[in-house]
Amino acid sequence: MVGEFHPPARILMGPGPSNVDPRVYLAMAKPLLGHLDPDFIRIMHQVQDLLRYAFATRNSLTIPISGTGTAGMEAAFVNVVEPGDKVLICVNGFFGERMVEIAGRCGAEVKKLSGTWGKPFDPAEVEKELRAFRPKVLALVHAETSTGVLQPLEEFPSIMKKFPEALLLVDTVTSLGGHPVKVDEWGIDVCYSGTQKCLSCPPGLAPITFSPKAVERIKNRTKKVQSFYLDMDTLGKYWGNEMTYHHTAPISMNYALLEALRIVQEEGLDRRFERHRRNHLALAAGVEAMGLKMFVDPPHRLWSLNTIAIPDGTDDAKVRKSLLEEYNLEIGGGLGPLKGKIWRVGLMGYTSDERNVLFFLTVLELTLREQGFEVPRGVGASTAREFYAKNK
């Protein structure tokens, strides 16, 4: 007989998933409903309204896709890209590279604008490429999870107005609910995310929103969307007024998302963003006081995902293993060319908490000392405490 599984209650400070509010766990334990039950349909509409609040949009086609963030990425591309379409993708990290892979599988003519891992793109450089290439879609990552870089988007509305044929497609998997995401104000046409990061919901759904311009592009396709499951023309009818059967929605996950979004609304977006910013700044101050370096320059650091340069002579895997096994704390390592060079420390949603910041700095110091890296005793946590005292 297989025994019952009792997972340890980890402190999840990696690149995702984040810890989940107990209210969300309780929501998942509620009785199942049918996916066409009138009471579940009411919940679906509430989820849509709250997602519009989180995305700062009025877009009608705003839904949670049944799948993780990568399903959101794939849905974004397969719906607005047809074979032969020109697609310009800004790549300065692992998930930009994944965009290239997915767009290529759609049969697109992909042009990759390569940037530096750890730095954002200059909007003027992007505009230059738009003028030269004239794509139907410009895609970029708002919060690059592999590097901890935030891509400013405030200048893009004026840029995109010069190229009316192009759609702006943006990945907000690690920013939605932790950084301002202003879909309508920034002129974003397709925007997707994941539930397991700053929304602090278990992984399994991918919030996505399409502008009227993007919906028109979908309706005027010359070929069917290559994926039946992710086809917004049919899936949108399940979430729209028609309520046409498409697939059996993950009922309990939608309960969880509803409760997670209710928590976001209760806190308020501005207060939530400030909490993420404050905890990020405290962590960065403590890290630097320990003699370590943050990987990203201050103006472009994510509040939700902090990247720390691993000091010379320090065993990356050994540190992460010690944190996990001795202190029940998960952090992430680097991806691609940054493997073994950075640690990725998440402060997302429910995990973005003053106590977690102080605990992380304390146990990181102890672990580094075991490897012979000299750190003044208690300096990281004490610096963070001073920051909190001055920034209440």
Q: Mind listing the pLDDT tens digit of every residue in the chain (392 residues)?
A: 999 999 999 999 999 999 999 999 999 999 999 998 999 999 999 999 999 999 999 999 999 999 999 999 999 999 999 999 999 999 999 999 999 999 999 999 999 999 999 999 999 999 999 999 999 999 999 999 999 999 999 999 999 999 999 999 999 999 999 999 999 999 999 999 999 999 999 999 999 999 999 999 999 999 999 999 999 999 988 888 777 888 999 999 999 999 999 999 999 999 999 999 999 999 999 999 999 999 999 999 999 999 999 999 999 999 999 999 999 999 999 999 999 999 999 999 999 999 999 999 999 999 999 988 989 999 999 999 999 999 98
Residue 189's SS3 state is coil
pLDDT of residue 20: 97
pLDDT of residue 273: 98
pLDDT of residue 155: 96
Indicate yes or no: pTM above 0.85.
Answer: yes
Class of domain 269-390 (CATH, top level): alpha beta
Q: Indicate the length of the chain as a whole number.
A: 392
Q: What is the DSSP letter of 299?
A: G
Whether the Cβ atoms of residue 59 and residue 241 lie closer than 8 Å to each other: no
* Angstrom distances, CA of residue 128 to CA of 85, 114, 168, 371: 19, 13, 15, 48
CATH 3.90.1150.10 segments of the chain: 269-390
Residues 40 and 32: their CA atoms lie apart, in Å, by 9
Residues 114 and 293: their CA atoms lie apart, in Å, by 25
Residues 27 and 295: their CA atoms lie apart, in Å, by 38
Q: What's the burial of 317, exposed, middle or buried (CB within 10 Å: 0-12/13-18/19+)?
A: exposed
Whether the Cβ atoms of residue 307 and residue 342 lie closer than 8 Å to each other: yes
The pair of structure tokens assigned to 88 is 């310009």
The pair of structure tokens assigned to 122 is 């200059």
Residue 330's SS3 state is strand
Q: What is the DSSP letter of 372?
A: T
- The residues with which 181 forms a beta bridge, in sequence order, are none
Q: Which of 314, 308, 312, 299 is nearest to 332 (CA)?
A: 308
pLDDT of residue 241: 78
Element (H, E) at 12: strand 11-12
pLDDT of residue 245: 83
pLDDT of residue 362: 98
Cis ω on the peptide bond leading into residue 17 (within 30° of 0)?
yes
Whether the Cβ atoms of residue 16 and residue 196 lie closer than 8 Å to each other: yes
- Cβ neighbours of residue 30 under 8 Å, at least 6 residues apart? 252, 255
Q: What is the chain's Cα-based Rg?
A: 21
The Cβ of residue 184 has, within 10 Å, a number of other Cβ atoms equal to 15
pLDDT of residue 61: 97
Residue with tokens 């490429």: 129
CATH 3.40.640.10 segments of the chain: 22-266
Residue 64's SS3 state is strand
Range 121-134 burial, b when 16+ CB lie within 10 A, else e = bebeebbebbeebe
- For residue 299, give the amino acid letter: P
Whether the Cβ atoms of residue 190 and residue 208 lie closer than 8 Å to each other: yes
Class of domain 22-266 (CATH, top level): alpha beta
The pair of structure tokens assigned to 287 is 């890290």
pLDDT of residue 244: 81
- Cβ neighbours of residue 98 under 8 Å, at least 6 residues apart? 70, 73
- Cβ neighbours of residue 60 under 8 Å, at least 6 residues apart? 212, 215, 240
Distance from the Cα of residue 376 to its chain's centroid: 34
